[in-house]
Amino acid sequence: MTKISFYTLGCRLNQSETASIRHAFKENGYQVVDFNEPCDIVVINTCTVTGASDANCRYLVRRINRLNPQARIALIGCQAQLQESQLAKLPGVSWVIGNARKMDLVSVLNENPCPKNPQVITPVIKRGPFSLIKRGLSPKRGLSPFDDKHTRANIKVQDGCDFFCSFCEVPYARGRARSRVFEDILDDAKSLLASGHQELVLTGINVGTYAYEGKTFIDIIKALDELDGLKRLRISSIEPTTISKELFSFMKNGHKLCRYLHVPLQSGCDEILLKMKRRYSVAEFKNFVHEAISQVPEIVIGTDVMTGFPGETDEHFNQTLHLLNDLPIRYFHVFSYSPRHRARSRLLKPLDSKVVSKRSQILRDLSNQKRRVFHESLIGGIYEVLFEASDKVGWQEGLTDHYVRVRVKTKHDLYNQMARVRLKSVDGLMVLGEQLGGYS
Ligand code: SF4
């Protein structure tokens, strides 16, 4: 039996797609092993959102080649789509398969299991006549988004993006926005719930732009909310201009939708937002955050921020710093700008990398400090936690609905259980608590 392992770089959508591909290989007689185990084929689902993501892939390929020189390597996904010739030259690489064909990886590998030279398949991704992702990911083909873990599963609702922010090459790597057939999403959700998952995370590149035969993103949320067995529904990340007011009223009215939103800001300076071709001003972003909190007081909002966009002065950076300090945003992911080959901003002069890393560190420190203050404010409260992992010495770990990572020490096996926990102290980026009473 051919042994195969998988590694995912990048976003939640990539994780969801790797889970589907892994499932397809199992269904087709391959033995899926852990990434660090010796095997015949290693698949890396790549990311190209920053220069660091590109470097991670190259590092992994060299490491695999050193530790397991017999393994044939398949590079799939965004970096494969855009940098095929560079990747095909890396040692041990047998396949470079872009986004248009990666979901067919089983057939590609079965047809050509030992290519003499790297096989490269990276056709341009077209929007297609219906702007839809049709039943191409159906469970019958073994490609529905099954996750091996049985707590939280990602469910893909759309792919691609039409926004073309000036720093981003995702629209080239993943193509223009396409939405999945509404009924397919519901079918996948039912399969995932039947196999024991309790939380579903709606993923995509720009989920708020979902559109299928008059149905929008909120219609997916409403339909999933009615499914038996679903305890929680979460949105992975959503562009601020695509959030409808209805979402807040749905969130506050005690439905299954988690009180949590990850909404990318990127910069707190209007001049930079304009150069980035983002679709909102600082004032609009502020209004959005205040509206969200007035509608759903317990909501947790996190964000992405980018430092060192070309032309970002100390003054521009300080505007971002002050905005993030002042707004009730609980944490942020910080990205250092790096020019992307197809993005329009590549024509602009980059900043000194030392300045960029210093700014990134300042924002990371602020994020950690804000997260800690937020976690401290929760101490003494009682929250429902969905447990998803444990270690050998009895600590068990899970998430609240507003995405706080909680650990408890208990003799009960809480895996995939929802339990009430009193939060007691902060430990780094987690909160420690004690389990109260029963669980379900
Ligand atoms: S919204 Fe902007 S940053 Fe996000 S994927 Fe689309 S182009 Fe890229």
Q: Is the CB of 206 under 6 A from ligand 1?
A: yes
Question: Tell me, what's the pLDDT at 262?
Answer: 97
Whether 132-377 shares its CATH topology with 379-439 is answered no
Question: Tell me, what's the pLDDT at 95?
Answer: 97
Buried/exposed 340-362: b ≥16 CB within 10 Å, e otherwise: beebbbeebeebeeeebeebbeb
Find out whether 179 and 158 touch, Cβ atoms under 8 Å. Answer: yes
Q: Is the CB of 168 under 6 A from ligand 1?
A: yes
pTM: 0.90
Q: State in Å: Cα 165 to ligand 1 middle.
A: 5
* Superfamily of structural domain 132-377: tm_1862 like domain (3.80.30.20)
Q: Is the CB of 39 under 6 A from ligand 1?
A: no
In this structure, whether the domain defined by 379-439 belongs to CATH 3.40.80.10 is answered with: no
Between CA 202 and CA 51, with CA 175 as vertex, the angle to 5 degrees is 85
Find out whether 295 and 249 touch, Cβ atoms under 8 Å. Answer: yes
Which residues are CB-neighbours of 159 under 8 A, at least 6 positions away?
13, 99, 133, 174, 175, 177, 178, 204, 205
In the chain, domain spans: 3-121, 132-377, 379-439
Q: Is the CB of 363 under 6 A from ligand 1?
A: no
Q: State in Å: Cα 170 to ligand 1 middle.
A: 7
Question: Which residue from 239, 338, 344, 345 has its CB within 8 A of the most atoms of ligand 1, so it is best to mutate?
Answer: 239
AA letter at 116: K
What residues in the chain have per-residue pLDDT under 70?
127-149, 438-440
Answer CATH for 3-121 from 3.40.50.12160, 3.30.230.70, 3.90.226.10, 3.40.50.9100: 3.40.50.12160
